[in-house]
Structures are given as structure tokens and as C-alpha cells.
Chains A and B, each alone.
Chain A
Amino acid sequence: MNHGMSTIVRTVTRFVYGLIIIFGFYVIMHGHLTPGGGFQGGAVVASAFALLLVAFGTAGIKGRLNKHLLQTLEEVGALAFLGLGFLGLGSAFFYNVLAHSGGFLGAAIPTGPSAGVLVAGGAVPLMNWAVGLKVMTGIACIVIVMLVGARKEAE
């Protein structure tokens, strides 16, 4: 288990795991237009991390991922989600104040079936990013800690 899997698996993983991460970011970013969103995109990116761990063993993440950085990013994601809820506290908790103003994300969209406007939706795209960051770093932390912890006691 320390050396990962065979050469074919390692070569394909080197090609493919960047594409999986890009696809996960696409699912998170277009969460308010197509089916998907924060939780689903975060799970896709976390599966790319798990693929890296299975194909290369623990040697694959020694130079690439840092566990303390992942923990800090997860806390940043959780606090950002909570902070976005406090943004609309003038009217109510979790009120979508950015969608009714004329500012950055406050555009109005045409009703009925349409192609969708990317820069619209108020606080919903920002919440998608916060939750996506939280889910992907959280699941990556769990997988890394369980693999390293279970290996240490087998020795």
C-alpha cells in the first residue's frame, strides 16, 4: 500500500486528476444555473484527492498537500458561510441583500426558460464557493488522517 498501484494506473492518474479538479470547480461555479452547487462540486474535487491517494500511496501527497493548510482552509470556508448569513441582518438573518441592490451581483434576469446569466444571484454564488471549499478540504482531511492513522498502527 505504501507504493500505490501499478504503472498504468499512475500514468492515467497523472493525466486525469487535473481534469477532475477543473470539472469540480465548474460544477461549483455554475451552481445557480445548472444542477449542482456547493456540496456536489466539493464531493467531485474530494474524489480527485482520494484518487491521488489511492494511486500513489502516501508518497503522492508529501510534496503536494499540506494538512495544516487544508485545516485552515476548511475553517475559512465555514466562517465565510456564517459571515454571508450576517450580511443581510438589516432585514432578517440570511436575507439575500445582494440580489435586490444594483451592485456587483444584483442583476435582474429574464423570466421563463433561458440560457442563464452567470454574474447574478446575490449571495448564492458566494455561498456556493464557501460551502464547496469547506466540503472539499474537509473530506480531503478525513481521508488523509484515516489513511495515515490506520497505517501507523499496522506497523
Chain B
Amino acid sequence: MRKALLFVAFLFVGAFLILGMAEVRDFGAPTLTGMDDYFIANTQTEVAANNIVTAVVFDYRGFDTLGEATVLFAAVVCILSLFRKLREDER
């Protein structure tokens, strides 16, 4: 009974996602491109880098990269402290 209800709910979610993706917008024609056109036109004069994606990640949107570096650092510290407790338990 529970499995049948779960299966019906899963079918609803699956149909919603797949049929929704067919109607989002046309593939290959983005509508709001003002910010990216500014990035493409002005990267070489402002940042002096040829790779626009790196300039966006580290210069125009450097604050998001700071958040991501913090998440990576927090994950490494958590894993190291978990396994330290394991080693101390056995001593």
C-alpha cells in the first residue's frame, strides 16, 4: 500500500519534470543577456585576461568563490576531525 502510493507520487514528479522541460524555452536562444554581453565586451580591457570564465569566477564574482572555498575547507576539516575521533577511540 505504501509502496503503491510512493510509486504514484514518483510518477507525478517525473511527469512534471519531463513535461515541464519541454516547455521551458527554446534551446539555444537565451533571452536576458545584458550582463554577459558586458562581460564579453569588457574583459580584456578591465581584467587583462583572455579566459572570460576565469575572469568571471575570480574577479567579477569573486565573492561566490570565497564562499565555495570556505565550504571546501569546512568539509576537509570535518572529515579530518571525524577520523581523528576514530583513531582515539581505539587507542
Q: When A and B assemble into the complex, do they touch directly, with CB atoms less than 8 Å apart?
A: yes
Whether B87 sits at the interface, judged by CB under 8 Å, is yes
Total contacting residues, chain B, CB less than 8 A: 28
Whether A121 sits at the interface, judged by CB under 8 Å, is yes
Q: Are A142 and B48 in contact (CB under 8 A)?
A: no
Whether A135 sits at the interface, judged by CB under 8 Å, is yes
Total contacting residues, chain A, CB less than 8 A: 47
Whether B47 sits at the interface, judged by CB under 8 Å, is yes
Distance from B78 Cβ to chain A, minimum over Cβ atoms (Å): 10
Q: Are B66 and A153 in contact (CB under 8 A)?
A: no
Distance from B66 Cβ to chain A, minimum over Cβ atoms (Å): 6
Q: Are B72 and A109 in contact (CB under 8 A)?
A: no
Known contacts A82-B66, A142-B79; is-contact A32 B72 (Cβ 8 Å): no
Interface centre among B54, B65, B80, B86 (most CB of A within 10 A): B54
Q: Are B51 and A34 in contact (CB under 8 A)?
A: yes
Q: Are A145 and B79 in contact (CB under 8 A)?
A: yes
Per-residue CB contact flags for chain B residues 32-60 toward chain A (1 = under 8 Å, else 0) read 00000000000011111111011101110
Whether B15 sits at the interface, judged by CB under 8 Å, is no
Known contacts A32-B50, A141-B80; is-contact A37 B57 (Cβ 8 Å): yes
Contacts of A53 in B (CB 8 A): none
Q: Are B55 and A124 in contact (CB under 8 A)?
A: yes
